Amino acid sequence: MERENEFAELSDELESQISFLKNETELYQLKEVLKQPEIIKQVVANAESLKIAAVILVKNQEKRIEKVIDALTSWNLDEIIVLDTGSTDDTVSILTNKKGLSFYQTDWVEDFGFMRNKVAEFTDADWILTIDSDEFVLTHDVSLKLLLSVLTRIIAEPFSLEFEQHYPNRSDYGFPERCYSPKSSYYFGKVHEELRDRESHLPLRKIPTRICIENQGVLSEEADKFSKSKRYTQLLYEMMAIEPDNPRWPAFLIYRDINEIERLEGYEALIKKYLLINSELEVSLENLRHHDYLKVLLQKYVSFLITTHRLSEGINIANLALEVNSSDTYIFFFKSFAEIELLKAEASEKLKEALSFYLSLDKQESYDNNHQDTQLIEIALAEFNLLNGNIEMARKILTEITDERSYAIWEGWQKNREGENNNGI
C-alpha cells in the first residue's frame, strides 16, 4: 500500500509538471509513458542527478538584478552564474555582496549569441536556464529537472524549452528559448539569437511551454538606455549578410526603426524576398514561401502597407494572411482599421458632395420647385457630420430643424436602424 501511495504521489507530481507543455501530441505521449511505474522511478532518479544552472548577462541593472536573482530561488537550481559586461552603476557592488551566486566580469562583444555562449562556459551543468537581467520568473511551481527528465524519455534529439515571455501592460507575449543542454547546443546570431544543434548546426527542436517570465527590456527607459532599436536593426542586417537566405533575421526587423540607418526604401523588397517564392510575381497563396516565419512576415508586410497609407493593398494582403491563419488577431486588427479608414474617407467625400449640393442651391428656386424648404437636406448634412465624427455640428443642425414633418421622417429612419444610436442626439 505504501509503495502504491508513493507511486501515486510521484505520478501526480509528474502529471502537474507535464501540464506546462502546450503540444497535445507530446502531452499524450508522456501520459502514456508515465503509466509505467518503472519508468516513473527512472524519470525521478534521472531528475535527481541532473545539474541545472541559471546564467545571466548583466550591465547597468542596479534597480532590477537582485530581484531577478531572488525570483529564481523557488526553482531549485544548482547554480546561478552572473556575468557583468561593463556596468558603470552599482550593479557590480550589489553582485559582489550577493550570496548564492557565482559572479564574473568580462568586456562586452556586440554579439548576443557569442556572449550567451561565453557565460555558459562558466558552468559544467547538464542544462542551462537563460534569464535576462531585466526578466522576472512568474511561474514558481515548476520543476525543470522533472520536466526535462520526462521529456528526454520521448525526445532523442537535442531540444530547447520555450517560455512565455510577457511584457508590462501588454497582452501579447513572445516565446524565446530559455532552457537547453550546452553539451549538444549553442547560441547563434548577433541579435535575436537562436539555439542550434552542435552537430547539424540546424535550429533545435523547440518545446513550447506555459512557463511564464516577464521581460521589462521593452520598457522605453530600458530600450533608450541601451539604444536597442538602432543596435538591433544594425545587427539584424549583419545577420542577413551572414545568412542571406534565412528568413529569421528580416522577421525581427521593425520597419519604423530602419530610418535610423537609412534603409526604409528597400524594406518592402526585402520582405517580399523572404515572403515570396518569386518576388517578381504578385503576392498569392501559391507564391508564398512556407517556413516558420511566414506568419510574422505577413504581419509585418500588412502593418507596413497600412501604416504607410496603402490601405487597399494592405487589406488585400490581410485577406490572404487570414487564409493562411484565420485566427490571426493582429492581421484582423490592421485590416479592420484600414477598412475603417477607407469608410471614413468615403464618408468625408460624401459630406463634401452633400455640402456642395446644399451650397449650390438657389433656396428660393428650390422652395418654388419642391414646395418645401431645404431642411431635409440639412438633416442629411447632420447625418453625414455624425458619420464623420462631427457630433457637435450634427447636434447644432438638428436643434435648428423646425419642420416637424421633416424631423419625423428622420426619427422614423432612426427607429428603423439596426441598434440604438448611442451618440445622444
Can you give the pLDDT at residue 224? 82
Which residue type occupies 266?
Answer: G
User: How is the chain split among helix, strand and coil, in percent rounded to 5?
Assistant: 50, 15, 35
What residues does 161 pair with on adjacent strands?
Answer: 179, 207
Please state, rounded to an integer, the average pLDDT across all residues of the chain: 91
What distance in Å separates the CA atoms of residue 89 and residue 37, rounded to the nearest whole number?
53
The band of 5, judged by pLDDT with boundaries at 50, 70 and 90, is: low
Q: What is the dihedral of CA 51, 56, 57, 63, to 10 degrees?
A: -160
Per-residue pLDDT tens for 357-367? 999 999 999 89
Q: How much of the chain exceeds pLDDT 90, in percent?
A: 74
Residues in Cβ contact with 111 at an 8 Å cutoff, skipping those fewer than 6 apart: 190, 235
Q: Provide the terminal-to-terminal Cα distance of the chain, rounded to the nearest Å.
A: 76
The band of 161, judged by pLDDT with boundaries at 50, 70 and 90, is: very high
Can you give the pLDDT at residue 56? 98
Is 70 exceeded by the pLDDT of residue 4? no
Q: What size, in residues, is the chain?
A: 425
Tell me the three cell numbers of residue 244. Answer: 542571406
What distance in Å separates the CA atoms of residue 214 and residue 346, rounded to the nearest whole number?
43
Q: What is the dihedral of CA 166, 249, 194, 134, to 10 degrees?
A: -40
| E-state strands within 42-174 | 52-58, 79-84, 102-105, 127-130, 135-137, 159-166, 173-174
**Which CATH number does 227-337 carry?**
1.25.40
Per-residue pLDDT tens for 214-235? 999 888 888 788 888 889 999 9
Residue 179: what are its φ and ψ, rounded to 5°? -140, 130
What distance in Å separates the CA atoms of residue 351 and residue 109, rounded to the nearest whole number?
60
Fold match between domain 2-221 and domain 227-337: no
> Domain 2-221 adopts which CATH fold?
Spore Coat Polysaccharide Biosynthesis Protein SpsA; Chain A (3.90.550)
Tell me the three cell numbers of residue 242. Answer: 551572414
Is 50 exceeded by the pLDDT of residue 261? no
**Domain residue limits, the chain:** 2-221, 227-337, 361-416
What distance in Å separates the CA atoms of residue 68 and residue 52, rounded to the nearest whole number?
17
Burial class of residue 317, CB neighbours in 10 A (0-12, 13-18, 19+): buried
5-14, 146-155, 168-177, 231-240: the lowest-pLDDT one: 5-14
The band of 6, judged by pLDDT with boundaries at 50, 70 and 90, is: low
Per-residue pLDDT tens for 77-129? 999 999 999 999 999 999 999 999 999 999 999 999 999 999 999 999 999 99
What distance in Å separates the CA atoms of residue 176 and residue 167, rounded to the nearest whole number?
13
Are 386 and 423 in contact by the 8 Å Cβ rule? The answer is yes
* Pairing assessment for the beta strands 185-188 and 194-197 based on DSSP bridges: antiparallel
53-62, 249-258, 333-342, 392-401: the lowest-pLDDT one: 249-258
Can you give the pLDDT at residue 410? 83
Is 60 exceeded by the pLDDT of residue 423? no
The band of 424, judged by pLDDT with boundaries at 50, 70 and 90, is: very low
Going by the DSSP 8-state scheme, the letter that residue 141 receives in this structure is: S
What secondary structure, in 3-state letters, does 276-335 show?
ECCCCCCCCHHHECCCCCHHHHHHHHHHHHHHCCCHHHHHHHHHHHHHHCCCCHHHHHHH
